[in-house]
Amino acid sequence: MNLVEIISVIKDCNSIAILPHVQADGDAWGSCLALGTALKKLNKSVKIISEEIIPRIYNFLPLEDSLIYDENAHYHFDLVIALDTGDTGRLGNRIKVFGSTENTVNIDHHGTNTGFARYNYLDAEAAATGEIVYELINILNVEIDTNMATCLYVAIATDTGCFKFNNTTSKTHEIVSALVKKGVNVAEVAQRVFDSTTKERVMLMGYAINTLELFEEGRLAFISITNEMIKAASAKEEDCDGIVNIGRNIEGVESSVVIREKSQGEYKVNLRSKSYLDVGQVAFKFGGGGHKMAAGCTIKGDMDSVKKSVYEELKRLL
Ligand SMILES: [Mn+2]
Protein backbone atom coordinates (compact mmCIF):
# COMPACT_ATOMS: atom_id res chain seq x y z
CA MET A 1 0.00 0.00 0.00
CA ASN A 2 1.20 3.53 -0.67
CA LEU A 3 0.31 6.60 1.36
CA VAL A 4 -2.30 7.81 -1.15
CA GLU A 5 -4.15 4.49 -0.80
CA ILE A 6 -3.90 4.70 3.01
CA ILE A 7 -5.37 8.20 2.80
CA SER A 8 -8.34 7.03 0.75
CA VAL A 9 -9.05 4.46 3.49
CA ILE A 10 -8.85 7.20 6.15
CA LYS A 11 -11.05 9.60 4.18
CA ASP A 12 -13.85 7.04 3.95
CA CYS A 13 -14.09 6.77 7.76
CA ASN A 14 -15.58 9.08 10.38
CA SER A 15 -14.70 7.69 13.79
CA ILE A 16 -11.04 6.79 14.10
CA ALA A 17 -8.92 5.37 16.95
CA ILE A 18 -5.16 5.89 16.93
CA LEU A 19 -2.99 3.54 18.99
CA PRO A 20 0.68 4.03 19.95
CA HIS A 21 2.70 1.01 21.10
CA VAL A 22 2.90 0.06 24.79
CA GLN A 23 5.36 2.16 26.80
CA ALA A 24 5.04 4.74 24.07
CA ASP A 25 8.17 6.75 23.30
CA GLY A 26 8.57 10.23 21.82
CA ASP A 27 8.02 8.96 18.27
CA ALA A 28 4.83 7.11 19.18
CA TRP A 29 3.36 9.99 21.23
CA GLY A 30 4.41 12.70 18.77
CA SER A 31 3.13 10.79 15.73
CA CYS A 32 -0.23 9.96 17.34
CA LEU A 33 -0.84 13.50 18.60
CA ALA A 34 0.11 15.09 15.25
CA LEU A 35 -1.99 12.68 13.18
CA GLY A 36 -4.89 12.96 15.64
CA THR A 37 -4.86 16.75 15.31
CA ALA A 38 -4.71 16.57 11.51
CA LEU A 39 -7.66 14.17 11.34
CA LYS A 40 -9.68 16.37 13.70
CA LYS A 41 -9.05 19.26 11.32
CA LEU A 42 -10.72 17.09 8.68
CA ASN A 43 -13.73 16.86 11.04
CA LYS A 44 -13.09 13.24 11.95
CA SER A 45 -13.99 12.01 15.42
CA VAL A 46 -10.63 10.88 16.84
CA LYS A 47 -9.57 9.02 20.00
CA ILE A 48 -5.94 8.35 20.82
CA ILE A 49 -5.91 5.34 23.13
CA SER A 50 -2.73 4.64 25.05
CA GLU A 51 -1.84 1.97 27.57
CA GLU A 52 -0.14 4.37 30.00
CA ILE A 53 -0.32 7.99 31.05
CA ILE A 54 2.01 10.23 29.05
CA PRO A 55 5.50 10.34 30.67
CA ARG A 56 6.67 13.52 32.39
CA ILE A 57 9.10 14.53 29.62
CA TYR A 58 6.35 14.54 26.97
CA ASN A 59 3.51 16.04 28.98
CA PHE A 60 4.20 19.56 27.67
CA LEU A 61 3.04 18.40 24.24
CA PRO A 62 -0.28 19.84 23.18
CA LEU A 63 -2.60 17.12 24.46
CA GLU A 64 -5.78 16.62 22.62
CA ASP A 65 -8.98 16.17 24.59
CA SER A 66 -9.31 13.05 22.47
CA LEU A 67 -6.56 11.38 24.48
CA ILE A 68 -7.73 8.50 26.63
CA TYR A 69 -5.81 6.05 28.76
CA ASP A 70 -8.35 3.32 29.24
CA GLU A 71 -7.09 0.27 27.40
CA ASN A 72 -10.29 -1.55 28.28
CA ALA A 73 -12.35 1.11 26.59
CA HIS A 74 -14.89 -0.41 24.28
CA TYR A 75 -16.05 1.82 21.50
CA HIS A 76 -17.05 1.39 17.98
CA PHE A 77 -14.66 2.85 15.45
CA ASP A 78 -14.87 2.87 11.67
CA LEU A 79 -11.10 2.58 11.57
CA VAL A 80 -8.24 1.79 13.96
CA ILE A 81 -4.73 3.02 13.13
CA ALA A 82 -1.65 1.59 14.88
CA LEU A 83 1.39 3.86 14.74
CA ASP A 84 5.06 2.97 15.33
CA THR A 85 3.99 -0.54 16.34
CA GLY A 86 5.99 -3.49 15.01
CA ASP A 87 3.63 -6.31 15.98
CA THR A 88 0.30 -6.90 17.75
CA GLY A 89 2.09 -7.81 21.00
CA ARG A 90 3.10 -4.15 21.18
CA LEU A 91 -0.57 -3.18 21.38
CA GLY A 92 -0.87 -4.74 24.84
CA ASN A 93 -4.43 -4.86 26.18
CA ARG A 94 -5.61 -2.56 23.37
CA ILE A 95 -5.52 -5.53 21.02
CA LYS A 96 -9.24 -5.62 21.92
CA VAL A 97 -9.72 -2.16 20.43
CA PHE A 98 -7.64 -3.10 17.39
CA GLY A 99 -9.63 -6.28 16.91
CA SER A 100 -13.00 -4.52 17.23
CA THR A 101 -13.06 -3.71 13.49
CA GLU A 102 -11.87 -5.31 10.26
CA ASN A 103 -10.81 -1.90 9.07
CA THR A 104 -7.26 -1.49 10.40
CA VAL A 105 -4.20 0.49 9.32
CA ASN A 106 -0.59 -0.04 10.42
CA ILE A 107 1.91 2.74 9.72
CA ASP A 108 5.44 2.05 10.88
CA HIS A 109 9.19 2.15 10.29
CA HIS A 110 10.36 -0.95 12.20
CA GLY A 111 12.12 -3.34 9.82
CA THR A 112 10.66 -6.25 11.80
CA ASN A 113 7.03 -5.11 11.28
CA THR A 114 4.77 -8.13 10.75
CA GLY A 115 2.18 -6.40 8.52
CA PHE A 116 -0.59 -7.25 10.98
CA ALA A 117 -3.28 -4.86 9.73
CA ARG A 118 -5.62 -4.98 6.75
CA TYR A 119 -3.78 -1.99 5.27
CA ASN A 120 -0.06 -1.72 5.98
CA TYR A 121 2.43 1.02 5.23
CA LEU A 122 6.00 0.23 6.21
CA ASP A 123 9.02 2.41 5.44
CA ALA A 124 12.06 0.98 7.22
CA GLU A 125 14.19 3.78 5.75
CA ALA A 126 12.27 6.42 7.68
CA ALA A 127 14.15 7.55 10.79
CA ALA A 128 10.88 7.86 12.70
CA THR A 129 7.19 7.17 12.22
CA GLY A 130 6.98 10.96 12.62
CA GLU A 131 8.63 11.35 9.19
CA ILE A 132 5.93 9.19 7.59
CA VAL A 133 3.15 11.03 9.44
CA TYR A 134 4.62 14.34 8.23
CA GLU A 135 4.30 13.14 4.63
CA LEU A 136 0.84 11.74 5.26
CA ILE A 137 -0.40 15.06 6.68
CA ASN A 138 1.05 16.91 3.69
CA ILE A 139 -0.71 14.60 1.23
CA LEU A 140 -3.91 15.05 3.27
CA ASN A 141 -3.42 18.75 2.56
CA VAL A 142 -3.80 19.75 6.21
CA GLU A 143 -1.85 22.83 7.30
CA ILE A 144 0.73 21.90 9.96
CA ASP A 145 0.38 24.33 12.88
CA THR A 146 2.99 25.00 15.58
CA ASN A 147 1.53 22.36 17.91
CA MET A 148 1.56 19.64 15.28
CA ALA A 149 5.05 20.66 14.19
CA THR A 150 6.25 20.37 17.81
CA CYS A 151 4.78 16.86 18.10
CA LEU A 152 6.47 15.74 14.87
CA TYR A 153 9.74 17.40 15.86
CA VAL A 154 9.74 15.49 19.17
CA ALA A 155 8.94 12.26 17.29
CA ILE A 156 11.89 12.68 14.95
CA ALA A 157 14.36 14.14 17.46
CA THR A 158 13.81 11.28 19.93
CA ASP A 159 14.07 8.43 17.40
CA THR A 160 17.26 9.87 15.92
CA GLY A 161 18.81 10.48 19.37
CA CYS A 162 18.81 14.22 18.67
CA PHE A 163 19.92 13.67 15.06
CA LYS A 164 22.96 11.68 16.17
CA PHE A 165 22.02 8.12 15.12
CA ASN A 166 22.86 6.87 11.65
CA ASN A 167 19.18 6.69 10.68
CA THR A 168 19.39 10.50 10.37
CA THR A 169 19.28 11.43 6.67
CA SER A 170 19.23 14.60 4.61
CA LYS A 171 15.49 14.01 4.30
CA THR A 172 15.24 14.01 8.11
CA HIS A 173 16.85 17.44 8.17
CA GLU A 174 14.63 18.71 5.34
CA ILE A 175 11.50 17.66 7.24
CA VAL A 176 12.81 19.12 10.49
CA SER A 177 13.71 22.36 8.70
CA ALA A 178 10.10 22.65 7.52
CA LEU A 179 8.86 21.93 11.06
CA VAL A 180 11.11 24.56 12.63
CA LYS A 181 9.73 27.09 10.11
CA LYS A 182 6.30 26.35 11.61
CA GLY A 183 7.52 27.74 14.92
CA VAL A 184 8.91 24.82 16.96
CA ASN A 185 10.74 26.04 20.05
CA VAL A 186 13.86 23.91 19.60
CA ALA A 187 15.53 25.01 22.85
CA GLU A 188 12.41 24.29 24.90
CA VAL A 189 12.06 20.80 23.41
CA ALA A 190 15.74 20.05 24.08
CA GLN A 191 15.42 21.22 27.68
CA ARG A 192 12.24 19.29 28.44
CA VAL A 193 12.89 16.09 26.52
CA PHE A 194 16.64 15.61 26.63
CA ASP A 195 18.25 17.76 29.31
CA SER A 196 15.97 17.42 32.27
CA THR A 197 16.00 14.65 34.82
CA THR A 198 14.72 13.82 38.31
CA LYS A 199 16.47 12.91 41.54
CA GLU A 200 14.87 9.44 41.37
CA ARG A 201 16.22 8.84 37.89
CA VAL A 202 19.74 9.91 38.87
CA MET A 203 19.61 7.61 41.92
CA LEU A 204 18.50 4.72 39.72
CA MET A 205 21.30 5.46 37.25
CA GLY A 206 23.74 5.21 40.17
CA TYR A 207 22.50 1.74 41.12
CA ALA A 208 22.43 0.68 37.48
CA ILE A 209 25.96 1.87 36.69
CA ASN A 210 27.25 -0.21 39.60
CA THR A 211 26.12 -3.36 37.78
CA LEU A 212 27.99 -2.49 34.56
CA GLU A 213 29.91 -5.42 33.11
CA LEU A 214 32.03 -5.46 29.96
CA PHE A 215 32.68 -8.60 27.91
CA GLU A 216 34.53 -9.59 24.73
CA GLU A 217 37.41 -7.12 25.11
CA GLY A 218 35.00 -4.36 26.10
CA ARG A 219 32.78 -4.67 23.02
CA LEU A 220 29.67 -5.77 24.91
CA ALA A 221 28.26 -3.80 27.85
CA PHE A 222 25.62 -5.20 30.23
CA ILE A 223 23.64 -3.36 32.90
CA SER A 224 21.06 -5.06 35.16
CA ILE A 225 18.17 -3.30 36.88
CA THR A 226 16.19 -5.13 39.56
CA ASN A 227 12.84 -4.18 41.08
CA GLU A 228 14.71 -3.64 44.33
CA MET A 229 16.82 -0.90 42.72
CA ILE A 230 13.75 0.79 41.24
CA LYS A 231 12.10 0.69 44.67
CA ALA A 232 15.20 1.95 46.50
CA ALA A 233 15.43 4.91 44.11
CA SER A 234 11.64 5.53 44.26
CA ALA A 235 11.95 5.50 40.48
CA LYS A 236 9.29 4.85 37.87
CA GLU A 237 9.28 2.52 34.89
CA GLU A 238 10.00 5.47 32.56
CA ASP A 239 13.16 6.33 34.56
CA CYS A 240 14.82 3.25 33.03
CA ASP A 241 14.65 4.81 29.55
CA GLY A 242 18.00 5.85 28.16
CA ILE A 243 20.11 3.96 30.70
CA VAL A 244 21.13 1.67 27.83
CA ASN A 245 22.99 4.62 26.29
CA ILE A 246 25.37 4.74 29.27
CA GLY A 247 26.91 1.45 28.07
CA ARG A 248 26.65 2.35 24.41
CA ASN A 249 28.62 5.58 24.91
CA ILE A 250 31.64 3.78 26.37
CA GLU A 251 34.59 3.83 24.00
CA GLY A 252 35.10 0.44 22.33
CA VAL A 253 31.57 -0.82 23.08
CA GLU A 254 29.69 -2.04 20.00
CA SER A 255 26.57 -3.27 21.71
CA SER A 256 24.94 -2.28 24.97
CA VAL A 257 22.27 -4.19 26.89
CA VAL A 258 20.03 -3.28 29.81
CA ILE A 259 18.16 -6.15 31.44
CA ARG A 260 15.33 -5.00 33.66
CA GLU A 261 13.23 -7.13 35.97
CA LYS A 262 9.58 -6.69 35.03
CA SER A 263 7.80 -9.24 37.15
CA GLN A 264 8.67 -12.56 38.68
CA GLY A 265 10.53 -14.49 36.00
CA GLU A 266 10.10 -11.88 33.27
CA TYR A 267 12.81 -9.54 32.02
CA LYS A 268 12.69 -6.64 29.60
CA VAL A 269 15.82 -6.41 27.46
CA ASN A 270 16.89 -3.18 25.78
CA LEU A 271 19.55 -3.42 23.10
CA ARG A 272 21.62 -0.80 21.32
CA SER A 273 24.52 -1.01 18.90
CA LYS A 274 26.96 1.56 17.64
CA SER A 275 28.01 0.71 14.10
CA TYR A 276 27.43 -2.74 12.61
CA LEU A 277 25.80 -5.25 14.94
CA ASP A 278 22.11 -5.82 14.08
CA VAL A 279 20.40 -5.89 17.46
CA GLY A 280 16.97 -5.94 15.76
CA GLN A 281 17.82 -9.47 14.63
CA VAL A 282 18.76 -10.43 18.20
CA ALA A 283 15.52 -9.03 19.65
CA PHE A 284 13.50 -10.74 16.93
CA LYS A 285 15.08 -14.08 17.83
CA PHE A 286 13.67 -13.66 21.36
CA GLY A 287 10.22 -12.67 20.14
CA GLY A 288 10.80 -8.91 20.21
CA GLY A 289 11.73 -6.48 17.48
CA GLY A 290 13.05 -3.09 16.53
CA HIS A 291 15.73 -1.57 14.38
CA LYS A 292 19.31 -2.47 13.52
CA MET A 293 20.71 -0.07 16.12
CA ALA A 294 17.93 -0.11 18.73
CA ALA A 295 15.66 -2.98 19.71
CA GLY A 296 13.98 -4.72 22.59
CA CYS A 297 12.38 -7.94 23.76
CA THR A 298 10.98 -9.66 26.83
CA ILE A 299 12.57 -12.92 27.98
CA LYS A 300 11.45 -15.36 30.69
CA GLY A 301 13.94 -16.85 33.12
CA ASP A 302 16.16 -15.39 35.84
CA MET A 303 18.61 -12.50 35.55
CA ASP A 304 21.62 -14.76 34.94
CA SER A 305 19.99 -17.03 32.36
CA VAL A 306 18.57 -14.04 30.44
CA LYS A 307 21.97 -12.35 30.47
CA LYS A 308 23.65 -15.53 29.25
CA SER A 309 21.17 -16.06 26.37
CA VAL A 310 21.51 -12.48 25.13
CA TYR A 311 25.28 -12.56 25.56
CA GLU A 312 25.63 -15.77 23.50
CA GLU A 313 23.54 -14.29 20.70
CA LEU A 314 25.46 -11.00 20.60
CA LYS A 315 28.83 -12.78 20.76
CA ARG A 316 27.86 -14.76 17.67
CA LEU A 317 27.24 -11.54 15.70
CA LEU A 318 30.27 -9.58 16.93
MN1 LIG B 1 9.76 4.90 16.11
- Asked which of 170, 194, 218 is the last residue of a domain, the reply is 194
Could you give the angle at the alpha carbon of 271 between the alpha carbons of 91 and 309, nearest 5°? 100
Condensed to tens digits (0 to 9), the pLDDT of residues 266-276 reads 999 999 999 99
* Alpha helices (H) along the chain: 3-11, 26-41, 95-98, 129-139, 146-159, 170-181, 186-189, 199-209, 227-232, 244-248, 279-285, 303-317
Instruction: Mark whether 102 and 120 lie in a shared domain.
Output: yes
Query: Which pLDDT band holds residue 242 (cuts at 50, 70, 90)?
Result: confident
Residues of the domain holding 66: 3-194
At residue 202's C-alpha, the angle toward residues 201 and 206, to 5°, is: 115
Distance between Cα 159 and ligand 1 center (Å): 6
Percent of the chain predicted with pLDDT > 70? 97
- Beta-carbon contacts of 154 under 8 Å, excluding residues fewer than 6 positions away, are 26, 29, 30, 58, 61, 130, 189, 193
Q: Are residues 143 and 85 in the same domain?
A: yes
Interhelix angle 129-139/170-181, nearest 10 degrees:
60
Domain boundary among 132, 161, 194: 194
Q: What is the C-alpha separation between 306 and 151, in angstroms, rounded?
A: 36
Rounded mean pLDDT, 145-166: 96
* Segment 153-182 mean pLDDT: 96
Residue 78 belongs to domain with CATH number? 3.90.1640.10
Please tell me the distance between residue 19's alpha carbon and the centre of ligand 1 in angstroms: 13
Between the CA of 259 and the centroid of ligand 1 the distance, in Å, is 21
Total of domains in the chain? 2
> 217 C-alpha vs ligand 1 centroid, how far in Å?
31
Strands 266-273 and 294-300, sheet pairing: antiparallel
Is residue 16 domain-shared with residue 151, that is, in the same domain? Answer: yes
Say whether pLDDT at 58 is over 90: yes
pLDDT confidence of 238, banded at 50, 70, 90?
confident
Task: Give pTM, 2 decimals.
Answer: 0.87
Residues 243-259 have a mean pLDDT of 97
Q: Check residue 4 and give its pLDDT.
A: 95
Q: Which of 131, 174, 139, 172 is nearest to 30 (CA)?
A: 131
Q: Tell me the sheet residues that pair with 173.
A: none
Angle between helices 146-159 and 129-139 (to 10 degrees): 150
Distance between Cα 308 and ligand 1 center (Å): 28
Decide which of 194, 209, 227 is a domain's last residue.
Answer: 194
Confidence of residue 88 (pLDDT cuts 50, 70, 90): very high
Interval 177-196: pLDDT, tens: 999 999 999 999 999 999 98
Question: Same structural domain for residues 181 and 280?
Answer: no
Residue type, 37: T
- Same domain? For 210 and 301 the reply is yes
β-bridge partners, 46: 16
Higher pLDDT, 241 or 306: 306
